[in-house]
């Protein structure tokens, strides 16, 4: 994605990503259950939607973040359904899937970073790129991180028998601790960035499942509320731009 369409990596970004994680978890369940698409049938539609967003973004020269956040929601929705397909439909052990996805994410992050580093080394313009490089490697990593986080969240709720509320109480402080530790710099470091994204996805899964439960808002209303909350936050909270960063997070 063009730099003019990428958000600043600051407090607003992380708060929005947390809400987007909850919204995406609800959207995944809404696609699978309420729309009757199941965990697999909706994936081609989501892939097509992401392709359209990425294609349209290339021709838009106006400065805004809409494409990035729409892509985040699409990828998060797809990750929710893929995780539920692997561990629900195929009944693969969540610990095994977690380990496999962790290896895939580490490999994807390393590979995409190497490609980005070579691209920057070959760039004679003197521009080093932004912290967020929303290219193909980045979205592959984001999908993998989202799937991994979903499996971890479900492991806390089901395998550890904590329920959605208990898993939310376990995982949310971990996200808060990562924010506290990383607020002065580490959040811009490649491994720490993706560790935090996975933690946000895990907590977002549990929180999303909790508030969408029948005893709370229910899935349709929870999806609507979290989606509106994300949209309002992005419109109302405007964070001043900061100088371009030198570390590519992808």
Picking from 158-167, 208-217, 234-243, which range would have the lowest pLDDT averaged per residue? 234-243
98 versus 250: which is more confidently predicted? 98
Enumerate long-range contacts of 87-95, CB under 8 Å, 24 or more apart.
Answer: 87/151, 87/154, 88/39, 89/39, 89/40, 94/151, 94/154, 94/155, 94/158, 94/159, 95/155, 95/159
Q: Number of C-alpha atoms within 13 angstroms, CB side, residue 72?
A: 26
pLDDT in the model for residue 243: 44
> The whole model's pTM is what?
0.89
Mean pLDDT value across residues 5-33: 95
Structure tokens at 89: 């439909």
By C-alpha distance, which of 183, 176, 181, 220 is closest to 199? 176
Position 14 pLDDT exceeds 80: yes
Q: Is 3 helix (H, G, I), strand (E, B) or coil?
A: helix
Average pLDDT of the residues of the chain: 89
Position 41 pLDDT exceeds 80: yes
227 versus 187: which is more confidently predicted? 227
What are the tens digits of pLDDT across the range 93-145?
999 999 999 999 999 998 877 766 555 444 444 443 445 778 888 999 999 99
């Amino acid at each position: 994605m063009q730099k003019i369409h990428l958000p600043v990596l600051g407090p607003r970004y992380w708060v929005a990503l947390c809400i987007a994680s909850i919204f995406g978890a609800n959207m995944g369940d809404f696609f699978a259950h309420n729309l009757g698409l199941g965990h697999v049938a909706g994936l081609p539609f989501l892939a097509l939607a992401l392709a359209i967003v990425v294609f349209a973004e290339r021709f838009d020269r106006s400065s805004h973040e809409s494409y990035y956040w729409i892509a985040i929601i699409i990828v998060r929705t797809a990750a929710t359904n893929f995780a539920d397909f692997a561990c629900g439909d195929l009944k693969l052990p969540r610990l095994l899937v977690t380990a496999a996805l962790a290896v895939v994410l580490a490999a994807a992050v390393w590979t995409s970073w190497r490609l980005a580093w070579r691209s920057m080394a070959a760039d004679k313009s003197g521009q080093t790129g932004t912290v967020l490089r929303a290219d193909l490697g980045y979205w592959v990593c984001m999908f993998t991180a989202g799937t991994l986080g979903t499996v971890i969240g479900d492991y806390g709720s089901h395998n550890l028998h904590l329920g959605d509320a208990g898993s939310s109480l376990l995982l949310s402080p971990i996200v808060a601790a990562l924010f506290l530790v990383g607020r002065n710099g580490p959040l811009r470091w490649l491994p720490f960035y993706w560790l935090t994204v996975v933690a946000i996805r895990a907590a977002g899964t549990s929180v999303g499942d909790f508030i969408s439960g029948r005893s709370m808002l229910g899935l349709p209303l929870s999806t609507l509320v979290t989606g509106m909350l994300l949209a309002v936050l992005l419109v109302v909270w405007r964070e001043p731009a900061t100088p371009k960063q030198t570390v590519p997070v992808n």
